[in-house]
Amino acid sequence: SSSVMNVSEHLSCPLGFGHYNAVDICILETVVIVVLTFLIIAGNLTVIFVFHCAPLLHHYTTSYFIQTMAYADLFVGVSCLVPTLSLLHYSTGVHESLTCQVFGYIISVLKSVSMACLACISVDRYLAITKPLSYNQLVTPCRLRICIILIWIYSCLIFLPSFFGWGKPGYHGDIFEWCATSWRTNAYFTGFIVCLLYAPAAFVICFTYFHIFKICRQHTKEINNRRARFPSHEVDAAGETGHSPDRRYAMVLFRITSVFYVLWLPYIIYFLLESSRVLENPALSFLTTWLAISNSFCNCVIYSLSNSVFRLGLRRLSETICSSC
């Protein structure tokens, strides 16, 4: 249609090579972005409502971070309405540069919050397993709220230099032409982000989960040895009330963390390569960006499939909605 032709002329369609091919690719990109936007918003709204409907989920201190991630991912979906509406209905582009900068900054901040929350979750589980007796004194609701506030402040500050011309905050797969042609990445700013965000978060997660599973494996070995020596109900009961629930919950959170880094690793690698001017491919830019953004929906799926309490809350929420209808 003529409207789609107009969109293809003014917006960046990175996968298109010919004019008519570009129109088809713009339609494909629009479908991908619209579907992802809908799934992200619907999925995270469901997570937020389930947490309010399932009081048992609040027994875990990590529920503070899970809910923070859900709100951050929800805002990612809401932010994705900007390119969605831009593709569906072309705007005049008077403030295209400002829109581009604000959109890239917001997306980067929100994903930084998710990454920092995953690191804090791993530290929380590490303390729960290594210091079970003093855990309640170390991790209090007040300290958790302060930690979440600091995460938001830190995430907002770390990407702020992008507004002063020091590189791009990391958003690729540019929808707006100004983003693709005039806003370039900077190797020094990319190194700054990697050193202050990506690398510390990855190191903390690897360190804590390595020790968590090492301790759980040692504990399981000790329980099996006790059962072999003293086959009694007391030992079985002690084993069941030991680290087993913590280990299962740690596995759920480890799956969420693993999927996060699997989806974000191509994006981070391309970000580094483009900043160093080693590789610049619009198709890879678009694919790696929206693959990373799709993680905002994957968290909901993993949590709903892996956590029995969450599934119970989801079933109660569904029953409530069905009964009201």
Distance (Å, rounded) from C-alpha 172 to C-alpha 192? Answer: 18
The answer as to whether 43 is a domain residue is yes
Say whether pLDDT at 261 is over 50. yes
Range with lowest mean pLDDT among 21-35, 90-104, 249-263: 90-104
For residues 225 and 131, the model is more confident at: 131
The answer as to whether 248 is a domain residue is yes
Please report the pLDDT score of residue 150 as a whole number.
Answer: 95
The answer as to whether 158 is a domain residue is yes
Query: What percent of the chain lies above the pLDDT cut of 70?
Result: 74
Give the pLDDT confidence of 82-118 residue by residue, as tens digits: 776 666 555 545 577 777 788 888 888 998 998 898 8
Q: For residues 160, 163, 167 and 173, what is the CA-based torsion angle, rounded to 10 degrees? A: 100
The answer as to whether 306 is a domain residue is yes
The answer as to whether 252 is a domain residue is yes
The answer as to whether 3 is a domain residue is no
The answer as to whether 86 is a domain residue is yes
- Residue 194: partners with Cβ closer than 8 Å, 6 or more residues away: 268, 272
The answer as to whether 235 is a domain residue is no
Range with lowest mean pLDDT among 22-26, 187-191, 236-240, 293-297: 236-240
pLDDT, average across residues 132-141: 86
User: What rounded mean pLDDT belongs to the chain?
Assistant: 76
Q: For residues 188, 191, 195 and 198, what is the CA-based torsion angle, rounded to 10 degrees? A: 140
Please report the pLDDT score of residue 17 as a whole number.
Answer: 42
- Total number of domains constituting the chain: 1
Please report the pLDDT score of residue 307 as a whole number.
Answer: 67
Structural domain boundaries, residue 50: 27-226+242-324
Please report the pLDDT score of residue 232 as a whole number.
Answer: 55
Which CATH number does the domain housing residue 256 bear?
A: 1.20.1070.10
Cβ neighbourhood burial of 296 (10 Å; 0-12, 13-18, 19+): buried
- Report the range out of 50-59, 63-72, 146-155, 185-194 with the highest average pLDDT: 146-155
